[in-house]
């Protein structure tokens, strides 16, 4: 990236950090255009991710409840996950929906993307909506997953979102896009 795209910040040096399973760490030494001082920043490199606002024929949004180790608690969020190398983000969204919920099909539309966490991550999350999904198979969970499917009426989902019960930022963003673009 050239200096003008970085707002005057200059990359002085870059070095690899440890491989952290879902992320690869990288250290960027950056020169501040305001004062000329350099600071070592950590960047987590990761593949893009996806999530889906899946709506059943009877108008329910399918959520998943799963344990999140970072906060040590369960969250109510949308089905989603990492885009595999060589996979398109819609393909990944369809796969993640099928694996986490057993649902598939429907009419798909792209809601948009957002930086996952631009403070220290280099990837994006792509949001999709799938209208009219149907149960087609059993869940196909990874060894480290325990996922409960939770169908909610749209108004109940909106209420929980606005009351702060849905806390995963990727799910919050996707739902805001979904409710705004209806």
Q: Identify the bridge partners of residue 60 per DSSP, sorted by sequence position.
A: 153
User: Per-residue pLDDT for 81 more than 80?
Assistant: yes
| Model confidence pLDDT, tens digit, residues 42-72 | 999 999 999 999 999 999 999 999 999 889 9
Report the mean per-residue pLDDT for the chain: 94
Return the SS3 of 169: helix
| Model confidence pLDDT, tens digit, residues 137-175 | 999 988 888 899 999 999 999 999 999 999 999 999 999
Quote the CA–CA distance of 17 and 120 in Å, as a whole number: 13
User: Per-residue pLDDT for 6 more than 90?
Assistant: no
Q: Contacts for 3-7 with beta carbons within 8 Å, 24 or more apart?
A: 7/33
pLDDT value, residue 4: 44
Mark out the alpha helices in 4-136 (DSSP H runs). 89-101
Mean pLDDT, rounded, for 90-117:
97
- 50/21: higher pLDDT: 50
Mean pLDDT, rounded, for 69-83:
95
pLDDT value, residue 145: 84
Classify domain 49-181 at the CATH topology level: Nucleoside Triphosphate Pyrophosphohydrolase (3.90.79)
Going from N- to C-terminal start, the domains of the chain cover 3-45, 49-181
Mean pLDDT, rounded, for 99-117:
97
Tokens encoding 60:
């329910």
pLDDT value, residue 182: 72
């Amino acid at each position: 990236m050239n200096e003008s795209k970085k707002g005057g910040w200059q990359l002085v040096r870059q070095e690899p950090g440890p491989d952290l399973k879902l992320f690869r760490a990288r250290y960027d030494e950056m020169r501040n255009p305001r004062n000329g001082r350099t600071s070592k920043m950590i960047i987590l490199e990761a593949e893009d991710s996806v999530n889906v606002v899946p709506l059943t024929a009877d108008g329910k949004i399918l959520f998943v409840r799963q344990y999140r180790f970072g906060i040590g608690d369960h969250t109510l969020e949308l089905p989603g996950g990492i885009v595999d190398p060589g996979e398109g983000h819609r393909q990944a969204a369809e796969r993640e929906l099928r694996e986490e919920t057993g649902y598939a099909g429907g009419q798909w539309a792209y809601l948009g993307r957002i930086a996952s966490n631009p403070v220290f991550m280099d990837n994006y999350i792509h949001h999709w909506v799938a209208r009219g999904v149907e149960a087609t198979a059993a869940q196909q969970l990874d060894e480290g997953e325990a996922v409960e499917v939770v169908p909610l009426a749209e108004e109940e989902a909106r209420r929980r979102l606005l009351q702060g019960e849905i806390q995963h930022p990727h799910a919050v963003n996707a739902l805001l896009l979904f409710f705004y673009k209806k």
